[in-house]
Amino acid sequence: MAQTNTATVALDSGAESKLAGHFRRNRIVYILASILLGIGLAYRIYLNTMAFSVGTDFYSPEFQKYWMPVLYGEVLFLGLFTVCTSVYVWLTRERDASAISPELELSRYWKLLSFLTVIGIWVAAIATNAVESDAAWHQVTIRDTDFTPTHIFIFYFALPALTAFLIPTFIWAHTRIPAFMNKISIPFLCVVLGIFMIMPNYGFNEWGHTFFYAEELFAAPVHWGFVFLGWSLFFLVPLGVQIFTNMGRLIAQTTATESTASTEERQVI
């Protein structure tokens, strides 16, 4: 009985240490994803509470008080975040790819996957919580200007936030991972450029709605750009092939090195 209890404690301790190690290794995903989901939840609550009470008339004093400061704040924040983070990542870049060990390179691939996972979580949050609410908003309220509660969230924060995450991640990968250094990953570049070009399409969308499409028709030509540019996410497939191919090579290399070292140690003993 005592032996059983001892074994149970040992197993529990091992499981606990594995769980702690999992959270430690993946803390980037959990922390950043929690922050982003918290921001999205807070914004959704604010939207549900304030949109119809003070958000239907852009020219009202209430709109200027409760919604325009949100717009100015998020644009300023995202602009500073993108510039500062990108500059920091570039200034702290690795200059000698040969000095990066296979083990370190492999760990950086895991970090890159963590960054992309966080971005994917934000995309899912936008798709399920924001995009359809914007279409519904235009079906039941009068379109006045592009400054509406739903546009302030989607067009000026949620979608630009993807660019704010992707540009520093792109620079980080091309200055930290030897397979990407001194060259450019075309699939990665297409993902970044496609998401970035959605922002100029906002202007075309608003111009079209102002002069041609009073109703928010899902299949209107002014929306085709969103679909086409959104297809840039398909380039994540060849990017994944690049990442996992290199990871497979590094795993085989590091495993072979560890196996050789272990064999040599046994021979010495």
Greater confidence (246 vs 131) lies with: 246
Burial readout 212-224 (b: 16 or more C-beta within 10 A, e: otherwise)? eeeebeeeeebbe
Over residues 32-64, the pLDDT tens digits come to 889 988 998 998 899 989 998 998 888 899 999
Structure token digits, residue 267: 């021979």
> Is 73 part of a structural domain of the chain?
yes
Residue type, 167: I
Give the position of tokens 């958000």: 55
> Is 18 part of a structural domain of the chain?
no
What does pTM read for this prediction?
A: 0.83
Indicate which CATH number applies to the domain containing 121. 1.20.1050.50
Over residues 83-124, the pLDDT tens digits come to 999 999 999 999 898 899 999 999 999 999 999 999 998 988
Structure token digits, residue 235: 């380039």
Range of the domain at 191: 37-90+99-255
Q: How many domains in the chain?
A: 1
Structure token digits, residue 108: 């950086």
User: Chain-wide mean pLDDT for the chain?
Assistant: 84
Residue type, 152: I
> Is 32 part of a structural domain of the chain?
no
According to the model, what pLDDT value does residue 7 have? 44
* Dist CA 88 CA 36 (whole Å): 21
Rg (CA), the chain: 24
